[in-house]
Amino acid sequence: MPRASEKQLESTRASSEHQKTWFAELRRNVFDEKKPYAIAQADMPLELFHLLGVPVVSNQWWAAVVSAKQLSGYFFDALHAAGYHEGLCRYCSLSLASSISGDPAKAPWGGLPKPALLAARLTCDCIQRVFETWAASFGAEFIALDSPGATHLPPRWWELSRDRWRELYEPHRLDFMVAQFGVLIHALERISRIKFSPARLRSLMEGVNRQEEYFDEVRDLICSAPQTPVRMNEQVINVMNAQWHRGTDWAVSHARTFRDEVRHRVEQGIAAYPGEKLRLMWVGAGLWHDTDFYTAFEESLGAVFVWSMYLAFGPDGYIRYGLDDPLRALASRIVSMNEQLHNPPWANEWIVDQAKRHRIDGAVILVPENSRPSATGTFFIKHALENAGIPALEIWADMVDARRWDGASMRQRVAKFIETRVRRA
């Protein structure tokens, strides 16, 4: 049987290598050549940053890196000592903590240098505070995109999002987002001295479509193969490294290579874990401080995590056809990410559909008690899964803060859930 920690796909190694090279280049450009870069929330229109030549570091990616280096406890303790209480959100603030508290030089690669710009979409009530504090500490500009509320909520949104996005995401919300994009574009143009071009954006958006179509094929392969050809961990690495650079030549090419490799594995009858008997889904953000958790139930119980939102959300959340107005199409990609992933009815309906397509036997739902905005919608998701006949277990933990995580007892709890509820079902 393959070892739990091994990387089975060449794409995974290539993807990780690319991300390391990209970040080394970013640091070289920023430190040595003093080129500007930006820090942004993951749900921002990263396409505009790519298009206008401003390299961007995602807040969530950096938080995952800090967490994976087992530094979250150090920085959160320091943040608390500075007066920020323990009940505040973790996921979106770990990167801030690594810049303003404790010894910032302890952060990976010596910490983030001063960006030219910070940018965030105001989904929750905390993020404007995190980014304003962060921007002030750097002495950098902060651009916020406010988040208009959705009122048109057809439950099976993913059946409309590719072609009927103009009506699905409500014209007044799209108008508002496009107007806000104008402010962001102006700032990026000022930083890079590159002029915005709708034609170039259209071309980039077409690249994003191609990339997500490859991911769509990967998803279909995982759904139809007798056993999953690629572990969830490796799905996430391949998908997310490409998503951070979505639409670029490298990202499209990488998505194709990933698709080819997964297809080859399916054709050859190669399973990620040949002893797969039960298929699990992980609902919520990744458990970045303990990613081995996702392979912990293979050997003992034959239970394999085959699904997380990271791969599936690519095709359903990103593809847009009809790019005559690419900025508006981009606005439609961004404007409802929160509703789709965390709020009823969109999150629960989508996850049940995904569970059925992936032949899921049981679901583990992360409810992050210290990242409250990400915790919402989870009860509706749980009820929907259970009503569809899929046993679901909620676990209360944080995706980046390892201080209260007891890996051994959590593994016992999930193992018991698999034995008593998933197997029986």
Site string for another protein, 106-135 (x = CB under 8 A): ----------------xxxxx-xxx-xx--
Cα–Cα distances in angstroms (integers) from residue 283 to residues 81, 89, 310, 403, in the given order: 32, 19, 10, 21
- Nearest partner of 310 among 230, 376, 224, 238, judged by Cα: 238
Stretch that binds another protein, among 110-118, 263-271, 286-294, 341-349 (CB under 8 A): 341-349
List the one residue from 18, 35, 166, 372 that touches another protein (CB under 8 A): 372
Query: Are residues 308 and 219 in contact, defined by beta-carbon separation less than 8 angstroms?
Result: no
Q: What is the DSSP letter of 295?
A: G
C-alpha 274/C-alpha 271 separation (Å) is 5
Residue whose C-alpha is closest to residue 354's, from 377, 388, 379: 388
Residue 140 Cβ, how far from another protein at the closest point, in Å?
14
Site string for another protein, 390-419 (x = CB under 8 A): ------------------------------
Give yes or no for residue 137 binding another protein (CB under 8 A): no
Please identify which residue in 28, 156, 172, 190 interacts with another protein, judged by CB under 8 A. Answer: 172
Is residue 344 within the footprint of another protein (CB under 8 A)?
yes
**Cα dist from 394 to 143, 294, 348, whole Å:** 35, 15, 14
- Asked if 343 touches another protein (CB under 8 A), the answer is yes
Contact 367, 252 (CB under 8 A): no
Give the amino acid at 148. P
In terms of CB distance, is 323 or 367 closer to another protein? Answer: 367
Of 3, 31, 82, 322, which one interacts with another protein (CB under 8 A)? 82
Among 4, 14, 68, 88, binds another protein (CB under 8 A): 88
Distance of alpha carbon 414 from alpha carbon 305, whole angstroms:
12
Q: Is 50 or 121 the residue whose CB approaches another protein more closely? A: 121
CA distance 123 to 353: 25
81 near another protein, judged by CB under 8 A:
no
Provide the binding-site residues for another protein, judged by CB under 8 A.
82-85, 87-89, 122-126, 128-130, 132-133, 144, 146-151, 153, 155, 172, 176, 179-180, 183, 339, 343-345, 348, 367, 369, 372-373, 375-380, 383
